Every structure is written in structure tokens, then in C-alpha cells.
Amino acid sequence: MRRSLLMLFVIALAIPSVFVDSTPAAPDCRVVEDFKKAKLGEFPPDWKGRKDAAKEIYIVHEEDGLRFLRATARSHGIQAAKQLDWDLQAYPVLAWSWRPLEFPGGADERKPKANDSVLAVYAVFPHSPVSAKTLKYIWSAVVPRDTRLSHTKGLTQLAVLRSGTVARGDWIEERVDVRADYKKYFREDEVPKPAGIAVLTDSEDTKSVASGDYTNFRICRE
């Protein structure tokens, strides 16, 4: 499961990308996914899952006019990904909203045998013909906020944005400076153009159930 995101984006690079233009007159933020074009009750058409089971885990829902992607993982750890080509110089910040519903029982992202998260968002970068580099932003039940971890032999750099279960059921907006984080976490001055974004609601290691929602992905100037 830990290599599935890398292979997913190797495959995704072969399909047409969504190109986000950047012009001087562009607004501060641009919506790159709000699921308004997707059909309710279905997997979003411009996303990919490495396994067919992803289409059962990630389903578009709507509440009070808000469209979102609901993830319900039962002993699964399968990502859903959207290829997205954007200019980090013009739009270094990735923003989105997420809502935790059910935390995987016994999860602790510091432990290899309990490495599950209710919510995770990735910024994905090309690395080699068979791998990718990823910045992984998570909501953890137990790992303290601002904790940094390294997985997949250093190719995945993980940052805990939220910790704890008190806000279960609440929408929270996040903003991360992807460009600055790439330089800091990978210790590189040159930042490649991202290949896309991905989400993961994961309960494979704990053999439990995890559920959460994602929406309103944007790229922003600051």
C-alpha cells in the first residue's frame, strides 16, 4: 500500500493533465476541484484510483449545496489522485477543506503497523520513471500537531496539520505553502513542477474503519 501512490502517479503522468494557467490578472486563489462537475453518488471522473476499489471508497456527496468527496475506508489504504499541472512560482499555496468523521481505531502514524489516517492530502512531484516524491499533510488522532515524519525511504515527507478527535464532524480549512515545504523537507533549492494532488483516508494497517470528507481544493498566491 505504501508504494501505491508512487505507482499511481507514474501511470497518471501518461494521461492528459489539467493545466492551470497563471497570468498577471489572475485572482489570489483558483479553484482546482470543488466536485461540482461530478455526479452525485459516483467517483469523480477526472480522478484516478490505482485499484478499482477506490471507486467504492471515494464518492461525491452534497449537503446544503456543498459538493464534497466522501471517503469511507474499511481495512483499505487506497489513494485517489488528480493530475494537476500548476505553477508553484505563481501559486505556491495549496488550500482545501476537510472534515473527519470516523478515526481509524488504534492508528498512530509514527508506528509502521498502525500507520493509518482519517484524512490525508498529498502534493505529488515527479521523481523517477517508477517513483514520485510527495508532501503528505495529515489529520492524526494522536500524533502532535507540527510533527514531521519521513516514509518510503524519504520520498514521502509527512506533516501533521491537525491532531485529536475533538473536531470530529467539523469542516476545517487548511492552507499550506507547498513550495516552501518542498524546499524545507527535501532540502532542495530547486522545486519541480507538481504532478498533481491526492487524498487518502486509510484504515488498512489497523483493520478498522476510517471516514472523512474533502472539498474546495484551490491554489493560491499566498
- Nearest CA-CA partner of 97 in 179, 147, 35, 151: 35
* Domain locations along the chain: 4-220
Residues 20 and 15: their CA atoms lie apart, in Å, by 16
Dihedral angle over CA of 103, 106, 108, 109, nearest 10: -60
pLDDT for 152 equals 87
Segment (H or E) for 180: helix 178-186
8 has pLDDT over 80: no
Q: At the top level of CATH, which class does the domain 4-220 belong to?
A: mainly beta
Residues 210 and 71: their CA atoms lie apart, in Å, by 8
β-strands 18-19, 48-49 pairing? unpaired
Residues 142 and 145: their CA atoms lie apart, in Å, by 9
The pLDDT tens digits of the residues spanning 111-167 come to: 999 999 999 999 999 988 888 999 999 999 999 999 999 998 899 999 999 999 999
Confirm if 114 and 108 have CB atoms less than 8 A apart.
Answer: yes
- Nearest CA-CA partner of 69 in 90, 42, 95: 42
Confirm if 5 and 132 have CB atoms less than 8 A apart.
Answer: yes
Give the predicted TM-score (pTM) of the model.
Answer: 0.90
Mean pLDDT of 64-93: 96
The pLDDT tens digits of the residues spanning 10-45 come to: 444 444 444 444 333 347 999 999 999 999 999 999
